[in-house]
Amino acid sequence: MKRFKKKPAILLMSSFPPTECGIATFSTDLLYYTSCQFSNTFNFIKCDLSNQCDKLNLTEYCLNPKIKENYSATASLINENKNIQLIHIQHEFGLFGGTYGNYLIYFLEEIKAPVLITFHTVLPDPNPELKTIVLKLASKCRYITVMTNKSANILIEDYKIDAKKIQIIPHGTHSINWIENLEIKKKYGLENRNILSTFGLLGPGKNIETALKALPKVIEAYPNTLYLIIGKTHPNNIINEIDEYRILLQDLTNELNINDHVLFLDHFIELPELLEILQGTDIYLFTSKDPNQAVSGTFSYAMGCGCPIIGTSIPHTREVLTSDIGKIIEIGNSSKLSEAVLEILGDPQMKFNMSLNAYKASRASNWENIAISQAEVYRELIQPAKNLSYNMPKLNLDHLKRMTTETGIIQFSKISQPDINSGYTLDDNARALIVMCKHYQLYGYKEDLKYIDRYLNFIEKCQTNDGTFINYLDHNQNVHIKNDYVNLEDSNSRAVWALGTVISLKEILPEDNFLTASIILEKSMHWIPGILSPRSIAFIIKGLYLCKGPIPDYTRRALITNLSKKLVSRYDLNKEKDWEWFEEYLTYANSVLPEAMLYAYLVTEDSIYKNIALDSFNFLLNKLFINNQFRPISNNGWYHKNEATKIFGEQPIDVGYTIEALENFYYTFRSPRYLKLMHQTFSWFLGNNHLKQLIYNPLTGGCHDGLEKTNVNLNQGAESTICFLMARLSMERVVNLKFESQDVYSTRSRILKNRHIKHREL
């Protein structure tokens, strides 16, 4: 019997709920998102720092941080678990017992597994005792992570810690859908109010009195202003059941006569509602009075929700809060705060731009992306020779459906909001039809048929009297002028591919779909032989390969053979010793060319096509994989023969098409290499790229439009989303289904025929 090796375990030492503090919230989020994405690679175990250890019913580890003897004892207990290969400690000086939390050293002296420490606070200009303790902690760990460049610089300059030992991983923010705050305000009946807000566990360090003192001047200019103070009081600030700080704030509110403009929300608010309130905020007020506060979770939350922010000058705000996102004021300066609020409220365009810029700037620090960065550190410490294994996201068609109207799928989106003014294209609707057919092929959901009808009807609407197709319709379904000056060969050929996909599913789709696709294809037959563009030829070969039935086999075989000969001629013309390709450059959708040769081989069994398919695909794959990472051909000038490889400007279309080609090569030749490369390529969407950021958006089900040098293009248009779903469906097939035939389509169709009929009857 085969024995499976256990995944390495990572122990996270921190406070956790029900403890109420920022570290507990942070650690819970970190554990949740890292587990969601990398449970295939690591197991995660908690060690809870709690004064209530004896009262907690825990299945994992617990340490009472006030008892010195517990540190060595807990370390010895952890050492007994040989599967724990890394200890990750969340560090705040007040979290551990002793002077500057020096009890932690007793744990570090006993523990055997390597240690990673995250410093949440880094104090500058340390006194000798503090410096000695921090250096002792640093000497006992393999890596240190901090959340800002400023914190890293302090460790390097003031503590003389080796920079190679320090990694910067920002504080995480929660993913949200971009939405203008007026829509949220309407939901809560606040559309006629200017909303200011502050949130977090209350205490004197929040310095909220600075904001209250600024309000009278703001209210004088904008009487509809409402200031939301969101959060319970920190338990450490309630003494003998008396909440002195909240009483102080309420008394100050009465004294300033602004009761009608201040609302204390001192009850527990679930995270989704909190994020909505922040999205509905016009300006977030961050008034901390700690000049050495390295990072603020509440500030990160607000920025992630797209709030324009006015913040006091602390290391975190000075590093992140640029002038296009908000304004920085001196600590405690109410006058400057009111001036800043008035300036932003007085310029709606500035306010909107700040909101959008804050949202965009914080996307890189979404918790999903932070989890990727953190997992990379774990991997380097535990198993540096291995790649991360990314969890497969659920199949989610929500954004595809959101982008689809009664006409078809809309071309572009503004972030996640469909942009109806961008109109429709044949390209997108043809690809959407393929995706929905494949989804129906796998699951047989009755709702899929509605979308299949819609996309197929769009193709029919685009066909002209001579059998060719237009590509562009505006938002009113009128023919767009772009059809007159853009080469339409590719879009016409993609339509043939989509029609072939429908025809291949004759046994499970309604007969009307099959007949409609067959009629449209029949009208197209006269122009197909004259196609010259290599990719257009390839798309048509893919479509014709699937068209068993309406086209006689001898006709289909002859067409595929004649078209394939054109690709062979191009290959022979351009092939050289180190350039086994059909053109003198690699551009977009390159993998469809060797894939077309594969189909030609499957139809004709001619070894010439097989050899070209294998050689050209191998050449392409060698160009696409760099240091075990998939790197799509850059659209910044493409990749020309005898020139240096262009980088950045990566788009999902090449990723999706490559995965589909890998799938078909895998089912033809059964080489495990193709299956391995499928997973490696798909991981590009999940963060295995040069920015270590998600390209797929798990919140919406959409896919971002591209990966640039320093940022992800956050728009989630039709092409990128469809190409992601195309890739995801390929992964679903190879992960969950075992095909008995090289014909990926027809075999599965036969297996599911009865199940689809049953679904349609529901």
Per-residue pLDDT tens digits for 290-318: 888 878 888 999 999 999 999 999 888 99
For residue 56, what pLDDT is reported?
56
Look up residue 703 and give its amino acid: C
The residues pairing with 548 across neighbouring beta strands, listed in sequence order, are 551
- Domain boundaries defined on the chain: 9-168, 181-365, 398-761
> What is the DSSP code string of 48-107?
EE-TTGGG---SSEEE-TT-HHHHHHHHHHHHT-TTEEEEEEEE-GGGSSSGGGTTHHHH
Rounded Cα distance between 432 and 724, Å, is 11
Q: For residue 37, which phi and psi values (nearest 5 degrees)?
A: -100, -20
Count each helix (H run) and each strand (E run) in the chain, helices first: 27, 22
For residue 595, what pLDDT is reported?
98
For the 9-168 domain, the top CATH level (class) is alpha beta
Asked if domains 9-168 and 181-365 share a fold, the reply is yes
Per-residue pLDDT tens digits for 465-520: 999 999 989 888 887 777 665 668 999 999 999 999 999 999 999 999 999 999 99
Rounded Cα distance between 536 and 593, Å, is 9
For residue 88, what pLDDT is reported?
98
For residue 168, what pLDDT is reported?
95
Tokens of 622: 């060698």
Rounded Cα distance between 229 and 240, Å, is 23
**CA angle (324 as vertex; 318, 325 as ends), nearest 5:** 65
Reduce the DSSP state of residue 281 to 3 states and report it: coil
Smallest Cα–Cα separation from 371: which of 116, 122, 90, 27?
27
Reduce the DSSP state of residue 228 to 3 states and report it: strand
For residue 748, what pLDDT is reported?
42
Per-residue pLDDT tens digits for 696-743: 999 999 999 999 999 999 999 999 999 999 999 999 998 765 443 334
CATH fold of 181-365: Rossmann fold (3.40.50)
Reduce the DSSP state of residue 758 to 3 states and report it: helix
For residue 188, what pLDDT is reported?
87
Helix or strand holding residue 556 (H, E): helix 553-574
Q: In the CATH scheme, what is the code of domain 398-761?
A: 1.50.10.10
- Please list the ranges in the chain whose pLDDT falls under 70: 1-5, 54-59, 237, 240-241, 483-487, 736-762
Cα pseudo-dihedral 212, 213, 214, 217, rounded to 10 = 110
